[in-house]
């Protein structure tokens, strides 16, 4: 690869406040691929989006802070391009030395990026002078955009980066032939967000532990009292159907922490499952459920966790999510965590290094686990 120009799609969609990056996890996650290629003498042209700019270029969505942080992490200069295509990009890319790194400006400054415009995709490759496409942005692999999939036909070689490979390896364990017992822990607000994942995982898991707001639609499907807890009325029939065909694999909370209002300082109490009085709402799983779910997770050979057990952003209702995080950290089996709040929980507790794989892709990991084809993966040479 010495001297070869490589177009690398990375995922640098990081939180930036007043020009300062508040979480560089995604930048760090790209380092193994970049360092491997730089060591081989390749010339790297990096592309990413940041946020959702609606009207073209905007300073608050510039990748300039990312270039500065990446340079610090690589301990090497990173050139920031003023654009993602055009004469200046051509000049900077042509001038890259072996091991050099050029970061293109936010590709979403062009509406053609999300439209997967073929001419724009070709221009990304032509102006970068790349002959190889490396997709290392699993977090955007479920999007058929110009820089994630559209560029593939315009290069000779299309491969996964090391981060993408890791994501596919670990998430693939959940869909292939996992070791037993295989336990999935699913949380979050809505059943509708996880329908396909539940249907995809049910035949594969030994137990599917449900938490979060989505649990109350299942309880309602059983005819139980849920007070004013979160409910998807139009999904009650589906929840009933999933329960009936689960063969007892779907486990629901044994108890809840309920509150009189949706706020951190609201009056709260712990009640057994399905005994939520009118005017109260379930906002977290209770201590008995925390212990039961922790036991199941600890004994598993593979544990997949996606979604919080309660209103994680409010400290009084974060205990269920934190209990699951601790259980996975102590599990001797293979542990996989995906989804923003789940990842935030293991990260905030300093447990991320005790998890075998912390996914960088929220929507992408859900679509992958649902069995959907990801455009940013399908376009690669994975044989």
Q: Determine which one of 41, 51, 362, 363 is catalytic.
A: 363
161 closest CA partner among 132, 139, 140, 136: 136
Looking at 115-211, list the stretches that DSSP marks H as alpha helix, in order from N- to C-terminal side: 118-128, 162-175, 195-201
* 26 classed as catalytic: yes
Longest Cα–Cα distance of the chain, Å, equals: 69
For residue 238, the surrounding DSSP H or E stretch is helix 236-245
Integer CA distances (angstroms), 232 to 57, 126, 218, 238, 281, in order: 39, 49, 10, 10, 14
Q: Quote the DSSP letter at residue 81.
A: P
CA distance 149 to 118: 10
Strands 268-272 and 255-259: antiparallel
Q: Determine which one of 64, 122, 190, 240 is catalytic.
A: 190
Burial 266-286 (b: 16+ CB within 10 A, else e): bebeebebbebeeebbbbbbb
* 212 classed as catalytic: no
* 56 classed as catalytic: no
Helix (H, G, I), strand (E, B) or coil at 30: coil
DSSP 3-state helix, strand, coil percentages of the chain (rounded to 5)? 40, 20, 40
Integer CA distances (angstroms), 186 to 14, 18, 156, 246, in order: 25, 35, 40, 15
Integer CA distances (angstroms), 189 to 242, 311, 330, 341, in order: 17, 9, 26, 11
Q: Quote the DSSP letter at residue 9.
A: E
CA 217 to chain centre: 24
Q: Determine which one of 26, 38, 194, 235 is catalytic.
A: 26
For residue 319, the surrounding DSSP H or E stretch is helix 319-330
CA pseudo-torsion sign 34, 35, 40, 41? positive
* 363 classed as catalytic: yes
User: Annotated catalytic sites, by residue?
Assistant: 26, 190, 340, 363
């Amino acid at each position: 690869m010495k001297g070869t120009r490589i177009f690398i799609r990375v995922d640098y969609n990081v939180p930036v406040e007043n020009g300062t990056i508040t979480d560089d996890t995604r930048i760090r996650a790209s380092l193994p691929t970049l360092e491997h290629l730089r060591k081989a003498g390749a010339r790297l042209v990096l592309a990413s989006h940041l946020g959702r700019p609606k009207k073209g270029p905007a300073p608050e969505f510039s990748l300039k802070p990312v270039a500065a942080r990446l340079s610090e992490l690589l301990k090497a200069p990173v050139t920031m391009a003023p654009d993602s295509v055009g004469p200046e990009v051509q000049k900077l890319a042509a001038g890259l030395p072996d091991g050099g790194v050029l970061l293109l400006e936010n590709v979403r400054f062009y509406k053609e990026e999300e439209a997967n415009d073929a001419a724009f995709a070709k221009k990304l490759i032509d102006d970068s002078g790349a002959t190889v496409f490396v997709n290392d942005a699993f977090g955007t692999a479920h999007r058929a955009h110009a820089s994630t999939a559209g560029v593939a036909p315009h290069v000779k070689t299309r491969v996964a980066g090391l981060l993408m490979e890791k994501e596919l390896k670990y998430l693939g364990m959940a869909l292939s032939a996992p070791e037993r017992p295989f336990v999935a822990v699913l949380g979050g607000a809505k059943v509708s967000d996880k329908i396909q994942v539940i249907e995809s995982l049910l035949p594969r898991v030994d137990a599917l532990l449900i938490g979060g707001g989505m649990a109350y639609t299942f309880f309602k499907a059983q005819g139980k009292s849920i007070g004013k807890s979160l409910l998807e009325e139009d999904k009650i029939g589906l929840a009933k159907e999933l329960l009936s065909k689960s063969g007892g694999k779907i486990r629901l909370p044994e108890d809840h922490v309920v509150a009189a209002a949706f706020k951190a300082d609201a009056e709260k109490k712990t009640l057994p499952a399905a005994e939520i009085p009118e005017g109260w709402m379930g906002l977290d799983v209770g201590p008995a459920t925390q212990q039961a779910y922790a036991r199941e997770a600890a004994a598993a050979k593979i544990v997949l966790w996606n979604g919080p057990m309660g209103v994680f952003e409010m400290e009084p209702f974060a205990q269920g999510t934190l209990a699951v995080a601790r259980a996975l950290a102590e599990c001797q089996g293979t542990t996989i965590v995906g989804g923003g709040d789940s990842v935030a929980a293991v990260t905030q507790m300093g447990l991320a290094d005790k998890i075998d794989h912390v996914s960088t892709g929220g929507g992408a990991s859900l679509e992958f686990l649902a069995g959907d084809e990801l455009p940013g993966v399908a376009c690669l040479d994975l044989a």
